[in-house]
A and B are shown apart, each in its own frame.
Chain A
Amino acid sequence: KAGVTQTPRYLIKTRGQQVTLSCSPISGHRSVSWYQQTPGQGLQFLFEYFSETQRNKGNFPGRFSGRQFSNSRSEMNVSTLELGDSALYLCASSLAGGAGGYTFGSGTRLTVV
């Protein structure tokens, strides 16, 4: 079966711009969560969506937002980009909040210049 698909794989943006990343979960998975990975902070939880509702949120500023559509696909948006937002952004999906484990995508590598 198809895995978790994240697009785009690589992205270069300028400070102050905004960016939207996309995640298509495994078919039938209704829970989608997002993580940021940087060399200094490691893997950090951003937020989790289930049935179009945000259920959990990490400790990130309001510039980071997300949403989930009725087909479970999810997007995350970062506004007013800062250099420190350069990171690997990972999306993970599961049947329902972690039951059976999360399947991660390959990530989107965002570089802010």
Chain B
Amino acid sequence: DAKTTQPPSMDCAEGRAANLPCNHSTISGNEYVYWYRQIHSQGPQYIIHGLKNNETNEMASLIITEDRKSSTLILPHATLRDTAVYYCIVSLGGKLIFGQGTELSVKP
């Protein structure tokens, strides 16, 4: 079973920040938090991952709480092309257990 809990769906206005939450209260000390997204049955696309510290790359920012029991993926300026299913996964690597994810709809 997936070790994460995400809202099934969210809406976001184009140009605004999209904040996608994820709960992972049973995460162990050496498990990473990964975020992937999948657009209409294409292969999932890696977005970002982190262990303890907040991370930022060209796509997004990842904010992990100090107790590591939850995290938030931030897409700073959402576009229509960001409409996708977003998956939050905790893993040691080597095996990704996908939950149902959050279906993000970016609207004009």
Contacts and interface: CB of A to CB of B under 8 A. Distances in A.
B98 A98 contact: no
B95 A103 contact: no
A55 B94 contact: yes
Interface in A77-100: 88, 90, 92, 94, 97-99
Contacts of B46: 101-104
Given A42-B98, A43-B98, A90 B43 contact: yes
Given A101-B34, A102-B46, A104-B44, A44 B94 contact: no
A31 B94 CA distance: 8
A1 B49 CA distance: 22
A97 B30 CA distance: 14
Nearest to B100: A42
Interface of B: 32, 34, 36, 41-46, 48-49, 87, 91-100
A56 interface: yes
Interface string A18-44: 000000000000010101010000111
Contacts, number: 63
B8 to A, nearest CB: 12
Interface in A30-65: 31, 33, 35, 37, 42-45, 48, 50, 55-56, 58
12 contacts: A33-B94, A33-B96, A35-B98, A42-B98, A43-B87, A45-B95, A92-B96, A98-B92, A98-B96, A101-B34, A105-B43, A107-B41
A7 B15 CA distance: 38
Contact of A97 (B41, B48, B94, B99): B94
B94 A48 contact: yes
A94 B32 CA distance: 15
A106 interface: yes
